[in-house]
Chains A and B, each alone.
Chain A
Amino acid sequence: DTGVSQDPRHKITKRGQNVTFRCDPISEHNRLYWYRQTLGQGPEFLTYFQNEAQLEKSRLLSDRFSAERPKGSFSTLEIQRTEQGDSAMYLCASSRGDRGLQETQYFGPGTRLLVL
């Protein structure tokens, strides 16, 4: 396993711009999750995919946010018309399935977004 990777690691943008983040899960992991973490808080769930199907979206995910996972491999998270409140660490995680330790979610290094 090469681990979960995320790109970019850091992003600075101006308010109103669009940004897109990418997550590459561990190969053969069929579940992929996006979380958002602000300073001093634990991560908050945004959305998750089982293969290519987006099965749940948090109310935190306003209509400015969209996530995709074409072909059930990598995923992208796009934020349109960014606001200063979107500044946070965006974390991606993947897991293999529902059996024992295979349920463990493995996290990527995160993308830190700063909206000026």
Chain B
Amino acid sequence: KQEVTQIPAALSVPEGENLVLNCSFTDSAIYNLQWFRQDPGKGLTSLLLIQSSQREQTSGRLNASLDKSSGRSTLYIAASQPGDSATYLCAVRRGGSSNTGKLIFGQGTTLQVKP
């Protein structure tokens, strides 16, 4: 059974810091991994999607890496801003015969960037 874990559950940093959010998964047979942002009481916004054959994806100040063999992904946020404050969720889509499209989510990391 695929399980996704995100550590830490919460993180508070001063504005301008570079930071790393961690995501681990127990079954390396994934199809892809997606990072989302969720603002309080809102839906999810897709940030980055990494295919299982890729090692990283970048969008602006965000960089996501994937190491399938160790079951890990990281989301790197450069020069953090107060507007980055939100909950960040990672989700994996299983591969092989279990590839039905559904995502399995971690519990999220709630980030607060202080001005």
Interface set of A (CB-CB < 8 Å, partner B): 4, 6, 31, 33, 35, 40-45, 48, 50, 55-56, 91, 93, 95, 100-101, 103-110, 112
Which of chain A's residues has its CB closest to B93's CB? A103
With A42-B4, A42-B107 as given contacts, are A109 and B101 in contact (CB-CB < 8 Å)?
Answer: no
Shortest C-beta distance, A46 to chain B (Å), equals: 9
User: Is A109 a contact of B49 with CB atoms below 8 Å?
Assistant: no
With A107-B45, A108-B43 as given contacts, are A45 and B32 in contact (CB-CB < 8 Å)?
Answer: no
Q: Tally A-B pairs: CB < 8 A.
A: 62
Size category of the B interface is: 20 to 34
With a CB–CB cut-off of 8 A, which chain B residues contact A43?
Answer: 44, 89, 91, 103, 105
Shortest C-beta distance, A22 to chain B (Å), equals: 15
User: Is B49 a contact of A106 with CB atoms below 8 Å?
Assistant: no
Given the complex of chains A and B, what is the CA–CA distance between A93 and B108 in angstroms? 18
Within 8 A of A (CB), among B1-31: 4, 31
Interface set of B (CB-CB < 8 Å, partner A): 4, 31-32, 34, 36, 41-46, 49, 51, 89, 91, 93, 100-108
Shortest C-beta distance, A72 to chain B (Å), equals: 15
| Contact partner, B89, options A42, A45, A103, Cβ 8 Å | A42
Given the complex of chains A and B, what is the CA–CA distance between A4 and B31 in angstroms? 24
User: Is B106 a contact of A42 with CB atoms below 8 Å?
Assistant: yes
With A40-B107, A42-B108 as given contacts, are A104 and B44 in contact (CB-CB < 8 Å)?
Answer: no
User: Is A104 a contact of B49 with CB atoms below 8 Å?
Assistant: yes
With a CB–CB cut-off of 8 A, which chain A residues contact B51?
Answer: 100
| Contact partner, B102, options A48, A110, A112, Cβ 8 Å | A48
Shortest C-beta distance, B52 to chain A (Å), equals: 11
User: Is A31 a contact of B42 with CB atoms below 8 Å?
Assistant: no
